Amino acid sequence: FLMTNHPTFFSKTADDFLDLLKAPSEEEVAEKAKWDEAHPETVRVMAEMKKNVLADPLDGTYWTAVPYRFGKEKMKYKAEPCVKVRQPPTKSMQGDNFLRANAKTHLKQKEPICFNFLIQFQGQGANAEKEYPLDDATKQWPEKGRSLFQPFAKITIPSRQNIDDPKRMAACENLSMTGWHASEELTPQGSINDVRKIVYQEMAILRRAENKKTIKDPTLLEEPTTLEIPTL
């Protein structure tokens, strides 16, 4: 599952993301102003992202800004702490590694860390394509009717674990992150996801080459079961 701590992405489509890579720098004031005027959604989302900061990754709510299949349906998903976290964060945000430091402290607690995993189905009707687009990652799908987030599972992260263990560090270093580690029923949707498939694969190849490791696809612990869409 690939998620960020913001409900939307800063580029609508893959073409818009390429535009962003060519954007003028802050020093090119006039050109940057023109670019910003032509890309208001990107400017808006990036400004919102700057305000949405985390002190501890285990306190965050995470969204997928892009849709995925769910059988014949389309969905987005999010994970949020089972216990409401105090905002704004009161934990220290000093130092280069404060996220890791706060997570390590958090993992020393007695109780495991719990996240609710929720699914949001794409809306239907005459305005569905506009309200619930598959290829506009800057658009947050409205939460109403059948498109309210529905509890689907819980994620439990064991406490009192050592994230500095060398074997675990090595395993993390060689993980391959991509939303395309999925069965056909859960295929990523939209041009942002199409580009991710290529870019993330190339990143994995480069990293494995540097680490002198062989790329291995993840394996299933058991045979996948038939997906059933909950009755809403």
pLDDT of residue 219: 59
Q: Which helix (H) or strand (E) holds 171?
A: helix 166-173
pLDDT of residue 130: 92
- Nearest CA among 17, 3, 1, 2 for reference residue 135: 17
The identity of residue 94, as a single letter, is: Q
Give every CB contact of residue 49 below 8 A, 6+ residues apart in sequence: 6, 10
Q: What is the length of the chain?
A: 232
- Measured from the Cβ of residue 39, the count of other Cβ atoms closer than 10 Å reads 20
pLDDT of residue 227: 46
Tally the C-alpha atoms within 13 A of residue 73's C-alpha that lie toward its C-beta: 17
Q: What angle do CA 18, 23, 27 make, to 5 degrees?
A: 160
pLDDT of residue 230: 47
Strand partners, 120: 76
Task: Say if residues 6 and 48 touch (Cβ distance below 8 Å).
Answer: yes
Pairwise CA distance, residues 95 & 78, whole Å: 29
pLDDT of residue 217: 61
- Residues of the chain with pLDDT below 50 are 224-227, 229-232
Pairwise CA distance, residues 16 & 14, whole Å: 5
At 231, list the tokens: 């009755």
- Nearest CA among 80, 76, 78 for reference residue 68: 76
pTM for the full predicted model: 0.85
